[in-house]
Structure 1
Amino acid sequence: MEFNNLDSGKILKTIRKHAGLTQEELAQKLFVEQSTISKIENGKSTLYAHFLFECAKVTGTQELVAEMLFGKEVAEKVKELMTTSNLPTQVTDN
């Protein structure tokens, strides 16, 4: 699947807003600068897959990301796998 920087920026912003986070709060969870989040959201930097999946993990939005990228059917499979496995659905600060 291919999408441009503006598309990926919209995806990141949707994830962040869904999680109720500011750019600064998301940046802190990902150990990056707020400007990195801003640049991606504004289409000035590339959102790489590993960063996208880490964002989904730390915000608990794996289902949302799966649906945005692959459609509802895949998102439902992700939800099923998450509820039947011992995988963490969200990273917490300890």
Structure 2
Amino acid sequence: MYGEVLRTVRLCAGLSQEELAFRLNSNQSSISKYENNHLSLDIETFILWLQLTQAEEVGVALLYGVDISTILESIIPNL
């Protein structure tokens, strides 16, 4: 459900799946599954993902119910 957001913030941070996996103490396969909505993300990993990609405001927007497409539109110009 949030896979596209996760991918977008990772790319904005300039991180490869492998680099983010290392920082999350995970593996590239899991990162791919999260980004393709094939694996659910626990809240701790979600928060750490946003911290590592310096995208905490995205988490706040999601908590306040901001539409995912609106979030992506605000992030994508930064790519």
Equivalent AA in structure 2 for residue 29 of structure 1: R
Shift of 1:71: 5.6
Moved over 6 A (4+): none
Check 1:31–1:44 CA distance in 2 against 1; reply closer, same or farther (3 A cut). same
5+ residue gaps, structure 1, are 1-6, 73-94
User: TM-score under structure 2 normalisation?
Assistant: 0.70
Structure of higher CA gyration radius: 1
1:26 to 8, 20, 23: 20
User: TM-score under structure 1 normalisation?
Assistant: 0.60
5+ residue gaps, structure 2, are 67-79
**Rounded Cα–Cα distance in structure 1 between residues aligned with 2:60 and 2:8:** 13
Shift of 1:39: 0.8
Say whether the 8 Å CA contact 1:15–1:65 is kept in structure 2: no
For residues 9-61 of structure 1, what are the alpha-carbon distances to aligned partners after superposition, in whole Å with 9 as ceiling and x for unaligned? 12211221121111111111111001010011111111222111011112221
Tell me the secondary structure at the aligned position of residue 25 of structure 1: helix
Tell me the secondary structure at the aligned position of residue 55 of structure 1: helix
Q: Number of residues paired by the alignment? A: 66
Check 1:18–1:67 CA distance in 2 against 1; reply closer, same or farther (3 A cut). farther
1:40 to 9, 21, 34: 34
For residues 39-90 of structure 1, what are the alpha-carbon distances to aligned partners after superposition, in whole Å with 9 as ceiling and x for unaligned? 1111111122211101111222111332244267xxxxxxxxxxxxxxxxxx
Residue identity over aligned pairs, in percent, reads: 38
**Rounded Cα–Cα distance in structure 2 between residues aligned with 1:40 and 1:15:** 13
